Structure 1
């Protein structure tokens, strides 16, 4: 039995993706540490701290597949130390001369922090690709349905007409900003961390800053101004960006769930024979994929709080919060990756019930465009007076179950200035979608790549 749904043989693809599981596998974590030691050895050799030959051998031997995982795992239990068993395992692969220079001048957190940053960078590369694909899927939907009138809803009630493409374009624009935010901030939070025992670089004497800078350059990471052992704002920033992007996916899933309600039934997450909504009610076509997506998003958002908690650190090192990052950050990426993948599936398989959209648009028998009638009448009697007149007529139509046009035609306050042909034209919802089509085009132009 798996200890987590992320690793469950039954459910792992609902709570993670294969590609992301590879990024956060045990081998990948060890390889990230090895990469850090290689980068450090090269930086130290360049600055005359260790022999060039030692750095070359360290680089040649730094392969995770050669590490004895059982030895490292048992070493963790014996030493209660997160890195020492790995140092010993790596040292055994090298000659005594080269092995003696592994981890030279470093502290455990230098390697584990920077190794984690390398993994997060790989994870974000995957997430960005997934989000770009999803963005283009949503843009396709926005273009396809940019002129399809739909009931706009505010406070869960019909408001004024929109288009379905406008709704999709709002999602797309938000996804674009999510991507933009991730791409912009990565140069801030993907920084190397190297400072030695208490972050002062004292172990390298006058070579400390130069080694640190070359260490970061060798890994393609940003160079920090000062050691960030107890400054966890970068990781809080990362987790916040991930949580914001996940919340966009959650908003999309929740909207689809609501639009798939039996009473609305305008959009459906997708259905094919074989998909089962209930073990007892054969008729059910539940939005179960979107519900799974939203569950994942909740997990992401909940974990993001730990990023803020971990910012409160004691003195120059505080392992109590530091090690939570190994858990919550990887879980955020794993679960979010699954959520994006499922949302891409939903966008591929989505069913749009255009007949139901038209039915719902006309459900209030013209009341959905009462604003237009009010504004047109306001040209003759003033906006506030027109609001009072149309308010009374709209409420009468609603309360008595009368067609809005019939009430308007019976009101001399309206017909003395507006004739029947004009009223019929104004009550066509398709003629009152404002700038929806233009805004869809603007979103597509901005984000289409």
Structure 2
């Protein structure tokens, strides 16, 4: 049975998706190794470094289904080397002497790095699909709740009114930047590797640059300007972008958790008959999807931190770095995709409770409107004086448990400059949401553009 949480029969769907797992499973990895070997052979045959018939036979037999994987596993255990057994396995099924030309001029890291880049390319395609769906979902949610007023909170306490659409539009804008980063990183990240033993292409001499160019053309990857065996910034950049995406998912999930607290209940993650919140408290409706997203985000942070460790290899080859990449990059992609997929699930079925939002606004008995009163009074007495007066009224309202309006109306300076109608207007939260609605429009309009 699987022993890793992302492959667990019981729990894997809380940690990733089958689509992303398929990119990084053993069959896919083996096929990508073979794809790289075939592309290398084809490139070399095109300029006469190896016979064309040999390259054609290598490409014809470079199919994962033709490889004896049980034999390969035993050989990897014996040799402690992943690619030498691959070469031997492929050679054994090639007709004639074609197998003698496999891996000509290459080193193991050329094959494994390039295969990993091909997997990342496939992963990016899935990430971009998820981001597109997420942007559309957030845009619709922001527009739908453009006018849904709710408490804005700073330092965990009620601050000023906002709209829920405003909050969502901030999420949307952030994910749009992630999508831009993903697009922008592709020319830097999706670059293949071919350098030979220490990166100088000595094994193929003057043909090296042309072989590399043709090899990457076959694989539809970028061509490096120089070998990057010990320059792992490409993977670190990609890992950072993915971790930031997961972090944004975690932020949304954390906000839903906070606003789903029993005493708040302004939002609630999707709930369906049969979902169980607790094994011992039957009444619980726990935010279990959101908690999983937060966990995945934090797990992604750890993998991104490992990517930074890979930026300090030694000399011209340091396989310790590669060993880390074989582990953290698949885990990071699977877990980040899990976070995106679960976040979409949360947002698609999110329960929004405008009545609770308004009730929570009113629970402060007008105190959330202190800034509006201060600025109105400041027109007559100055901003600093107005702050002192309104502060005193606010503290008195809290300590005496009276409404803010009642205390304001009883203050001589306030009464001298603000009428009862003024106070009614100033204490109406719907009149003090600034440009929240316009900002929603601006973000969503940019999205449409």
Do both share a fold (TM > 0.5)?
A: yes
Worse-matched range after superposition: 329-338 or 130-139: 130-139
Matched position secondary structure for 2:238: helix
3-state SS in 2 of match to 1:158: strand
Is the Cα contact below 8 Å between 2:149 and 2:354 reproduced in 1? no
SS in 2 for 1:253: helix
Tell me the CA shift for residue 325 of structure 1: 0.4
- Name the residue aligned to 2:235: 235
- The Cα of 1:435 is off from its aligned counterpart by 0.5
Match of 1:402 in 2: 402
1:96 matched to 2:96? The reply is: yes
Give the superposition deviation at 1:97: 2.5
Q: Which runs of 4+ in 1 moved over 2 A?
A: none
Alignment RMSD (CA, Å):
1.0
Cα separation, 1, equivalents of 2:132 and 2:148: 25
2:71 matched residue in structure 1: 71
| Map of 2:391 onto structure 1 | 391
Long gaps (5+) in structure 2: none
Counting matched residue pairs gives 449
Kept in 2: contact 1:136–1:448 (CA 8 A): no
Residue of structure 2 equivalent to 1:185: 185
Shift of 1:205: 1.0
**C-alpha separation in 2, matches of 1:35 and 1:272:** 45
SS where residue 162 of structure 2 aligns? strand
Residue in 2 aligned with 1:157? 157
CA contact (8 A) 1:41 1:102 kept: yes
Structure 2: distance between partners of 1:279 and 1:135: 36
CA distance in 2, matches of 1:447, 1:424: 38
Which deviates further from its counterpart, 35-44 or 245-254? Answer: 35-44
Map 1:417-428 onto structure 2 (within 5 A): 417-428=417-428
Which residue in the other structure is 1:224 paired with? 224
1:423-442 pair list within 5 angstroms: 423-442=423-442
Partner of 2:17: 17
Distance in structure 2 (CA, Å) of the matches to 1:128 and 1:46 = 35
Structure 1 CA distance for aligned equivalents of residues 64 and 348 of structure 2:
38
Distance apart, 1:138 and its partner CA: 1.2
Task: Measure the CA separation in 2 of the matches of 1:8 and 1:149.
Answer: 43
Question: Is the CA contact 1:303–1:332 (under 8 Å) kept in the aligned structure 2?
Answer: yes
**Aligned mates of 1:82, 1:336 — CA distance in 2:** 27
CA contact (8 A) 1:17 1:337 kept: yes
In the TM superposition, what whole-angstrom CA distance separates every residue of 1:185-240 from its partner, at most 9, and x where no partner exists? 11101110100011010000110111112212221111111100011111111111
Report how far residue 357 of structure 1 moved: 0.5
Does the CA contact (< 8 Å) of 2:192 and 2:223 recur in 1? yes
SS at match of 1:339: helix
Aligned to 1:126, the other structure's residue is in SS state helix
1:33-52 correspondence to structure 2 within 5 Å? 33-52=33-52
Aligned counterparts, 1:322-341, within 5 A: 322-341=322-341
SS across alignment from 1:81: coil
Cα distance in structure 2, aligned partners of 1:127 and 1:418: 55
Q: Is the 8 A contact 2:150 2:354 kept in 1?
A: no
Q: TM-score, normalised by structure 2?
A: 0.98
Encode CA deviations 1:383-416: one digit per residue, 9 max, x unaligned: 1111111111111111111111111111120121
Aligned to 2:204, the other structure's residue is in SS state helix
Alignment of 1:226-265 (within 5 A): 226-265=226-265
Match of 2:97, SS? helix
Where 2:213 maps in the other structure, the secondary structure is helix
Moved more, 113-122 or 128-137: 128-137
- In 2, the alpha carbon distance for the partners of 1:16 and 1:87 equals 32
Counterparts of 1:117-156 in structure 2 under 5 Å? 117-156=117-156
Q: Distance in 2 between matches of 1:272 and 1:116?
A: 40
Q: Distance in 2 between matches of 1:274 and 1:349?
A: 16
State the TM-score, normalized to the length of structure 1: 0.98
Which residues of 2 match residues 283-362 of structure 1 at below 5 A? 283-362=283-362
